[in-house]
């Protein structure tokens, strides 16, 4: 008897998202577990894959890396049915960065939904070490942990202090996460986005008092910001952001672009600026997000823009990718 097929949400080529029947993985390497997927958050990466803009991807690809699910069986300290967040960054644990504890930038990293098929499927196999308990959260809340962890990681990388002046450029989902966790550190957070509509909506939803649509407006009358975070994914915006960094300040590049970024070296040295890259997230960042959610410090209702079942996504994917201006996070449901 042939193995039963299950629905998988896949981009088979740029511009074409389908729900197709595939045989799910059932053979488990040692130390792996089967997870019944509950909810999947749609990310900018998923939209870029759909649009054919992702530089490191082979089609077809089952998307989905913002994942919550339940254990299909008891395994290594986890009980069957237990709700978990899946850390989608599969690391080798043997390279130099892994040995330093930086599994988030493993030189052999495989990200679910990007380098290998992701979790937009009823069941997926992942390493047990990539499972994080999600008690106290709903399945939909748990699917929001990963994108917030990226913002939390950037804030931790910056060593931002209480009372610091912080500028977050680009208030998409990642930028919102950065802003929320910088504020939890006690920073004075200012937002910047070219969209007045989006900027106003985010300020209203999350209670940020200051917002600007240009760097020149943001730094008018101030000496710069102690920490500037870029979450725009736009080369021009990244380059413009250098001017917003105060003398002795830090610039954190959370977004990534394919182009070469240039800046004035004399100005960079004159300010003794620190330039940091921030990639993915560590276990401690996931833990911080979970703690903040449980404490009620993160309003997940405001983060969630829409909820839809997997079978509705093929008809919606093109319009979602085309106009994301009013979206923060769309959650796709596959189970309870």
pLDDT per position as a tens digit, 58-83: 999 999 999 999 999 999 889 999 99
Helix (H) / strand (E) containing 219:
helix 215-219
Among 47, 88, 276, 299, CA closest to 177: 299
Q: Are residues 226 and 273 located together in one domain of the fold?
A: yes
Kindly indicate the confidence band of residue 3, based on its pLDDT and cuts at 50, 70 and 90: low
Radius of gyration of the chain (CA): 20
Among 253, 247, 252, 251, CA closest to 269: 247
Give the pLDDT score at 1: 46
**Domain encompassing residue 243:** 150-277
State how many domains the chain has.
Answer: 2
Are 164 and 188 in contact by the 8 Å Cβ rule? The answer is: yes
- Per-residue DSSP letter, 242: G
Give the pLDDT score at 2: 55
Chain CA centroid to CA 91, Å = 17
Q: Are residues 268 and 311 located together in one domain of the fold?
A: no
Q: Are residues 124 and 185 located together in one domain of the fold?
A: no
The mean predicted confidence, pLDDT, of the chain is: 95
Q: Give a yes or no: residue 1 inside a domain.
A: no
Q: Are residues 135 and 168 located together in one domain of the fold?
A: no
Residue-wise pLDDT for 139-196, tens only, equals 999 999 999 999 999 999 999 999 999 999 999 999 999 999 999 999 999 999 999 9
Q: Give a yes or no: residue 289 inside a domain.
A: no
Kindly indicate the confidence band of residue 54, based on its pLDDT and cuts at 50, 70 and 90: confident
Looking only at the bridges linking them, the beta strands covering 123-127 and 110-111 are unpaired
Q: Are residues 271 and 189 located together in one domain of the fold?
A: yes
CA distance 320 to 91: 31
Q: Are residues 239 and 303 located together in one domain of the fold?
A: no
Q: Are residues 107 and 191 located together in one domain of the fold?
A: no
Kindly indicate the confidence band of residue 305, based on its pLDDT and cuts at 50, 70 and 90: very high
At which of 229, 244, 277 does a domain end?
A: 277
Q: Are residues 266 and 163 located together in one domain of the fold?
A: yes
Q: Give a yes or no: residue 109 inside a domain.
A: yes
**CATH code where residue 133 lies:** 3.90.180.10
Q: Are residues 321 and 193 located together in one domain of the fold?
A: no
Q: Give percent of the chain with pLDDT exceeding 90.
A: 87
Among 29, 30, 34, 144, CA closest to 85: 144
């Amino acid at each position: 008897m042939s193995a039963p097929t299950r629905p998988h949400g896949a981009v088979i080529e740029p511009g074409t998202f389908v729900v197709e029947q595939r045989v799910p993985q059932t053979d488990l390497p040692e130390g792996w577990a089967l997870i019944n997927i509950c909810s999947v958050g749609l990310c900018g990466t998923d939209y870029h894959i759909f649009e054919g803009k992702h530089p490191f991807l082979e089609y077809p690809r089952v998307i989905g890396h913002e994942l919550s699910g339940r254990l299909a069986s008891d395994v290594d300290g986890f009980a069957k049915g237990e709700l978990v967040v899946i850390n989608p960054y599969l690391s080798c644990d043997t390279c130099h960065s892994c040995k330093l504890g930086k599994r988030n930038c493993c030189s052999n990293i495989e990200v679910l939904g990007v380098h290998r098929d992701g979790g937009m499927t009823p069941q997926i196999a992942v390493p047990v070490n990539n499972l994080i308990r999600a008690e106290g959260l709903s399945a939909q809340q748990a699917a929001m942990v990963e994108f917030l962890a990226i913002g939390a990681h950037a804030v931790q990388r910056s060593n931002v202090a209480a009372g610091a002046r912080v500028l977050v450029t680009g208030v998409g989902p990642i930028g919102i996460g950065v802003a929320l966790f910088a504020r939890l550190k006690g920073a004075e957070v200012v937002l910047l986005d070219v969209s007045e509509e989006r900027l106003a909506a985010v300020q209203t939803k999350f209670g940020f008092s200051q917002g600007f649509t240009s760097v020149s407006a943001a730094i008018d009358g101030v000496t710069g910001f102690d920490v500037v975070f870029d979450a725009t994914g736009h080369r021009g915006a990244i380059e413009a952001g250098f001017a917003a960094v105060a003398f002795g300040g830090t610039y954190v590049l959370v977004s990534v672009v394919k182009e070469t970024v240039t800046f004035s070296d004399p100005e960079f040295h004159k300010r003794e600026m620190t330039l940091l890259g921030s990639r993915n997230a560590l276990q401690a960042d996931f833990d911080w997000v979970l703690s903040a959610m449980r404490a009620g410090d993160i309003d997940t209702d405001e983060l969630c823009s829409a909820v839809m079942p997997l079978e509705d996504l093929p008809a919606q994917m093109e319009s979602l990718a085309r106009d994301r201006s009013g979206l923060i996070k769309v959650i796709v449901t596959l189970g309870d």
